[in-house]
Amino acid sequence: MMQTTQNSRDAIFGAIRSALKRSGPLPDARRAELDANVPQHTRPAQDENLLERFIRKFESRAGTVQHIASRAEIPAAVEAYRANMNLPHRAAVGAALKDLIWPADWQVHHNRAGTEELLSVSLCIAAIAETGSLMLGASADSPTTHNFVPDDHVVVLEAASIVGYFEEAWAILRQRSEGMPRATNIISGPSRTADVEQTIQLGAHGPRRVHVLIVAA
Amino acid sequence: MEIRSKEFKSRAVFAIHDASLQQAMGKARDGFVGKRAQQAAELPEFEALREEAKNLKNHILENLDHYLERYEDAVKRAGGHVHWARDAQEARAVILDICKRVNAKTVTKGKSMVSEEIDLNEALIEHGMEVVETDLGEYIIQLANEPPSHIIAPAVHKTKNQVSDLFEAAHGGPRKTEVADLVNEARQVLREKYFRADVGITGGNFLIAETGSSMIVTNEGNGDLTQTLAKVHIVTSGIERVVPTLDDATLFLRLLARSATGQETETYTTISTGPRRATDLDGPEEYHVVLVDNGRSKMLAGHFRDMLRCIRCGACMNHCPVYGSVGGHAYGWVYPGPMGSVLTPLIKGLDNAYDLPNACTLNGRCASVCPVKIPLPDLLRELRHLQHQQELSPVMQRRALKAWRFVATRPKLYHAGEWIAVRVLKLLGRKGSIRRLPFAQAWTDVRDLPTPEGQTFLQRWQAQRGK
């Protein structure tokens, strides 16, 4: 099989180059030029405070937000949310929030989420004001299953980590010493579908609700 | 799926008389068109972005080999595998090979039009695997044993009532009739499949050369559960989907959701880079990308390179009066509507899809909404030209065109013919219209021809000028 795909690879590159009227790869100088190119595409104008824009956009897609004064207030805010939603005393919490003091009668774990999990709490890398989206990265501190399996997803967002545009969020990823996360999830509200007669229905496969705790800068 | 584009005419007639289909299509048409128009109006930069996107795609295609090599290197650096497939058969063989090696029993799938193009499901099922489509629309049509009728809303032709019937038959009762209950039932059934899956297959909206990542956009989150929970993640994608950097992908993201569903953004944009890392708690152990040519490098060479800019948003079909009347199944293969009428003959052969380029009024709405400015009517006209050159068009049509050319290049003869025709037509007319016209019954069967006044255009023009 490896041999076959190698032959196919050569054939495809041959066909592409002949279509482009070239006999081989581009000259090295041209390749270096292409590699060095930094794209400058048009970004839709924004004239709003980043936090306000993030909230307006995120809420427009059925997401909810709540302001808290400090990181230490996270457990109490999550407990209030849990009680309000009438969920069991249990949550999958990203290890990034391990150091917080969670209610004593809670079952808290930091492992991946299974189907029995109804509530998860994650720390996001950043938020993007342009579309009102959260950016989460897979790691031991933030398993991807927390973002998709439970019915209720609570995401902690540091107000200072809101950026204006996608391009600024990519810059944050490029600066990480560990490189790109295995999975980078840009999340813009609860899961939804319109596959039955164009009727919008929340909670298709992913979370039914996404609640953001915004920690003041 | 077997191509049935030769049956376009009979399937179109059938579709027009299908009350459920017409009901479903009516609802869809209004929603898609209105929402897209609103998004375009709310973004002052929309037209500038379309122009930039067109230019960027052209640049990528001009340097496609370079960006594919960079992408391949980056995937390998991230611990993933890249496979190359010249055609559908090779693509199926590569994927089957991976599935068999890991002894796959259950394969879950996120939405992938390339997997439809290569007939993947049938091949996996033939080898004893359970294949589960997880996009709700794809799941519905899998239960109905039908191909998708739209590239982003595969079950757009189904009414709620039909979905209720399908779910009741597949899941057992009690029958659900509310959208919320139907969605919830599918959610419960599919959750169990995600967790059981050995292999998860998704498409790739964009392949990022900079990072070796694949990017998918979904609203449901099914693609994410598919690729996170299976032991092996396989991405199927066309070779034209590579983009240089994350910033370049962003340009297309700003156009894709707005053009497709009329949303500012889809709910989930996911960037996948290689398999699970040593410290990760979840994610696939293997990450594979299968890059499919299947006619694309051939398109790169000729008149149809513009078609490779397509980002599969579906705006062209949402705005097409022919698609809106007959739905996607009439087109007889995987890609319907204007983009499908270009792709199907190019991938499956001009003679296998004769009617598709001709089932177009050349009204131009598709080109006016295309986010990457593909001149779809020009490409369809070019296909007609090729069909004529290869003598695939009907003999009578070619003779008629020849006769017309003979007359049209002789103005005196032409004007004399016109003069006779308007007088004959005037005699045929009753109460201002002609109900039946010899040799043009297909046209007059469904409409009347207004009776000419008795003078040709040129005569009236000269009379006016004389005043």
Query: Min CA distance, A72 vs chain B (Å)?
Result: 26
- Other beta carbons within 10 angstroms of residue B369's beta carbon come to 21
Residue contact A26–B134, C-beta within 8 A: no
Q: Is the pLDDT of residue B51 over 80?
A: yes
Residue contact B220–A143, C-beta within 8 A: no
Query: What is the percentage of chain B residues whose pLDDT exceeds 90?
Result: 84
pLDDT of residue A3: 63
Q: Give the pLDDT confidence of B361-373 residue by residue, as tens digits.
A: 999 999 999 999 9
Paired sense of beta strands B206-208 and B242-243, if any: parallel
pLDDT of residue B422: 87
- Other beta carbons within 10 angstroms of residue B59's beta carbon come to 16
Chain B interface disruption, residue of A18, A182, A185, A200, most B CBs within 10 A: A182
Which three-class secondary structure string do you get for chain B?
CCCCHHHHHHHHHHHHCCHHHHHHHHHHHHHHHHHHHHHHHHCCCHHHHHHHHHHHHHHHHHCHHHHHHHHHHHHHHCCCEEEEECCHHHHHHHHHHHHHHCCCCEEEECCCHHHHHCCHHHHHHHCCCEEEECCHHHHHHHHCCCCCCCCCCCCCCCCHHHHHHHHHHHHCCCCCCCHHHHHHHHHHHHHHHHHHCCEEEECCCEEECCCCEEEEEECCCHHHHHHHHCCEEEEEEEHHHEECCHHHHHHHHHHHHHHHCCCCCCCEEEEECCCCCCCCCCCCCEEEEEEECCCHHHHHHCCCHHHHHCCCCCHHHHCCHHHHHHCCHHHCCCCCHHHHHHHHHHHHCHHHHCHHHHCCCCCCHHHHHCCCCCCHHHHHHHHHHHHHHCCCCCHHHHHHHHHHHHHHCCHHHHHHHHHHHHHHHHHHCECCEECCCCCCHHHHCCCCEECCCCCCHHHHHHHHHHC
Q: Is the pLDDT of residue B426 over 90?
A: no
Q: Is the pLDDT of residue B134 over 90?
A: yes
Residue contact A18–B301, C-beta within 8 A: yes
Question: Which residue of A15, A148, A179 is in closest CB contact with B228?
Answer: A148
Residue contact A144–B248, C-beta within 8 A: no
B467: confidence class by pLDDT, cuts 50, 70, 90: low
Q: Which residue has the higher pLDDT, B454 or B260?
A: B260
Angle (nearest 5°) at CA B84 between B79 and B90: 130
Question: Which residue of A12, A35, A42 is in closest CB contact with B49?
Answer: A42
B429: confidence class by pLDDT, cuts 50, 70, 90: confident
B169 touches chain A (CB under 8 A): no
Residue contact B27–A147, C-beta within 8 A: no
- Other beta carbons within 10 angstroms of residue A7's beta carbon come to 13
Q: Is the pLDDT of residue B61 over 80?
A: yes
Chain A interface disruption, residue of B151, B202, B271, most A CBs within 10 A: B271
Tell me which chain A residue has its CA closest to the CA of residue B148. A195
A187: enclosing H helix or E strand: strand A183-187
Q: What is the ipTM of this complex?
A: 0.97
Query: Min CA distance, B396 vs chain A (Å)?
Result: 36
Tell me which chain B residue has its CA closest to the CA of residue A198. B28
Residues with pLDDT less than 50, chain A: none
Q: Which residues of A touch B248 (CB under 8 A)?
A: 39, 41
Which pair of structure tokens corresponds to residue A150? Answer: 């439970």
Question: Which residue of B221, B239, B272 is in closest CB contact with A204?
Answer: B221
B385-408 mean pLDDT: 91
Chain A interface disruption, residue of B68, B265, B296, most A CBs within 10 A: B265
Residue contact A5–B293, C-beta within 8 A: no
Q: Give the pLDDT confidence of B277-326 residue by residue, as tens digits.
A: 999 999 999 999 999 999 999 999 989 999 999 999 999 999 999 999 99
pLDDT of residue B465: 84
Q: Give the pLDDT confidence of B162-208 residue by residue, as tens digits.
A: 999 999 999 998 999 999 999 999 999 999 999 999 999 999 999 99
pLDDT of residue B433: 84
Q: Which residues of A touch B64 (CB under 8 A)?
A: 16, 20
pLDDT of residue A2: 56
Q: Which residues of A touch B41 (CB under 8 A)?
A: none
Q: How many angstroms separate the CA atoms of B178 and B367, rounded?
A: 37
Residue contact A182–B93, C-beta within 8 A: no
